[in-house]
Amino acid sequence: MLYTRCLVRFTAIFTSGLLLLWSMAAVAESGWLQLNMPRGVTSVSREVYDLHMLILWICVAIGVVVFGVMFYSMYFHRKSRGVEPAKFHESTKVEVVWTLIPLFILVGMAIPATKTLIKMEDIGDTEMTVKITGYQWRWHYEYLGKDIGFFSSMSTPREQVYNLAEKNPDYILEVDNPLVLPVDTRIRLLTTAADVIHSWWVPELGWKRDAIPGFINDNWTLIEEPGIYRGVCAELCGRDHAYMPIVLHAVSKEEFAEWVQQQQQPSTALSAAD
């Protein structure tokens, strides 16, 4: 009888705990409170998100089971109730069980994670390449083979930073020259730096890469939805680290072709003048 009552009480506590977690996740999902990572706009970013959620819920389940057993034992087997502790020493059976269960859980998490990592590292078959160079404190984008290259610096006026003017909606997340990339195109992105270590991070792409002087890191992306995606330098790189945002305009292939033509015009005009 007592056992049934306890079980009912515990089930109620666990269920309400789970419901609370669930509703928090729902609130975060609604965008009202952004706690979670974004789902992103590439297949890789979605896989990363799904992995993150899978592992989060595995951790929640483990937490519920472990803390449930712990609090149950602490409460219902406490000394004041006259419960006698078991006094056994060593139990091969228990040790094998608590080694095998985590092993299966870890392998179960490692298999999908490794699949995604391998996919992320597969740089082959890209249709275009952009070299990204970090500087203190701006980014340089070079479209290899297209004769396009420019600096991208934060465009938020310093008055806003020093609270002397009203802040823009995209305060310190806006630049003079955004990186423009076509959608539905497999793009290779090379990252490096010219002075100290920076890190190029646009959360919607699902990855970030260190930009290290003397090294070139590569990565690829295939953006599926046009839009404006914002990111930041994610490696503390000096005084203005907070003021080197990234703005990525993902546009249709036709718009991109037009943009490339526009960008190439000035240099064509220059070389004609030579």
In this structure, the strands spanning 179-182 and 246-251 are: parallel
The tokens describing 7, both together, are: 């079980």
For Cu ion, the closer of residues 232 and 251 by Cβ is 232
> What is residue 248's three-state secondary structure?
strand
Least distance (Å) between residue 54 CB and Cu ion: 32
Least distance (Å) between residue 244 CB and Cu ion: 5
For Cu ion, the closer of residues 222 and 233 by Cβ is 233
Displacement of CA 209 from its chain's centroid (Å): 11
Q: Are 190 and 175 in contact (CB under 8 A)?
A: no
The tokens describing 246, both together, are: 């990234």
Q: Are 102 and 58 in contact (CB under 8 A)?
A: no
Q: Are 193 and 217 in contact (CB under 8 A)?
A: no
For Cu ion, the closer of residues 188 and 198 by Cβ is 198
Q: How many chain residues interact with Cu ion (CB under 5 A)?
A: 3
Regarding 246 and contact with Cu ion (CB under 5 A), the answer is: no
- At position 269, the amino acid (one-letter code) is A
For Cu ion, the closer of residues 140 and 198 by Cβ is 198
The mark string for 172-201 relative to Cu ion (x by CB under 5 A, - otherwise) is --------------------------x---
98: CB partners within 8 A, 6+ apart:
none
Least distance (Å) between residue 214 CB and Cu ion: 16
Q: Which residues pair with 234 in a beta bridge?
A: none
Least distance (Å) between residue 147 CB and Cu ion: 26
Least distance (Å) between residue 152 CB and Cu ion: 12
Task: Please report, as residue ranges, which positions from 37 to 96 form the binding site for Cu ion (by CB under 5 A).
Answer: none
Alpha helices in the chain (DSSP H): 2-29, 43-76, 92-121, 158-161, 253-273
Q: Are 137 and 161 in contact (CB under 8 A)?
A: no
For Cu ion, the closer of residues 44 and 202 by Cβ is 202
The mark string for 198-237 relative to Cu ion (x by CB under 5 A, - otherwise) is x----------------------------------x---x
Least distance (Å) between residue 128 CB and Cu ion: 24
Give the footprint of Cu ion on this chain (CB under 5 A). Answer: 198, 233, 237
